[in-house]
Structure 1
């Protein structure tokens, strides 16, 4: 159990807390999925240590520098997420009403 706690101390420095497992999960085989999640998370970070990583490459993000003019232009665009007043609607549907033929 001591080796498991050493492993968890190392893993805690490099992966998110939500991806860690508890010692009993491995020692008593209570939650093998949590153990596998932790190992997969560490495998994604292996390229930091000069080893071949397993799984998808992690994205590091990109900082965007927008000017005030570009931000104002974005306010005038109406996106598709706003909805539309054209097309098929659910008006005229009555739940539980029988069919009129």
Structure 2
């Protein structure tokens, strides 16, 4: 799908390079191993961007995995064979995203369909799959537990006496002595050479 687009240049290329620099091949490898286990499909678990795109871009593996994990978002007829038409691939990927959201993946961790179909942000695809694994408790990394704290009334009152730096400070550098419109003297005026 991405082969029909012009090559990126200028700011678009810089933005794409920045996204690509955040891509983690080790995490992608671990995620692909996890996907392979829960999808029931066999494929290369190499963490390179090209392999991740090759394995996941048609949505079939993602659809199989989310169905095996218990989601009802992907109809069985969509998984009867691999899709060849672009809009059907995109539909299958969007059904996976709906299923992941249903299973508790936060909106910040989800990806957009074009992130995968156009290789726009494969790092976000890996992040979404990793987050799904954490939510289900099947990933090596466990979801953080809630850490609520209880403060006494005395501690809460003591906190009211602290002035946050967000309110500003009158210490350190200031704008005092600025001269708008006048010449800036490097040497004091009375010390002319």
TM-score by length of 2: 0.38
**Equivalent residue number for residue 106 of structure 2:** 16
Task: State the Cα deviation string for residues 57-90 of structure 1 (Å, max 9, x = none).
Answer: 7544411111212111111223444443344321
CA RMSD of aligned residues (A): 2.9
Q: Evaluate the alpha carbon distance shift between residue 51 and residue 75 of structure 1 in structure 2; reply closer, same or farther with a 3 A threshold.
A: closer
> Do the aligned partners of 1:11 and 1:20 also contact (CA within 8 Å) in 2?
no
In the comparison of the two structures, how many residue pairs are matched? 93
Q: Evaluate the alpha carbon distance shift between residue 51 and residue 61 of structure 1 in structure 2; reply closer, same or farther with a 3 A threshold.
A: closer
**Equivalent residue number for residue 91 of structure 1:** 176
TM-score by length of 1: 0.62
> Do the aligned partners of 2:105 and 2:128 also contact (CA within 8 Å) in 1?
yes
Partners in 2 of 1:95 and 1:58 — Cα distance? 55
**Equivalent residue number for residue 73 of structure 1:** 158
Pairing partner for 2:138 from 50, 54, 61? 50
Task: State the Cα deviation string for residues 10-54 of structure 1 (Å, max 9, x = none).
Answer: 2222322342313xx134x2x621x5313313213424342334x
- Which secondary structure state, in structure 2, belongs to the residue aligned with residue 39 of structure 1? helix
**Equivalent residue number for residue 32 of structure 1:** 120
Partners in 2 of 1:86 and 1:6 — Cα distance? 56
Q: Evaluate the alpha carbon distance shift between residue 97 and residue 59 of structure 1 in structure 2; reply closer, same or farther with a 3 A threshold.
A: farther
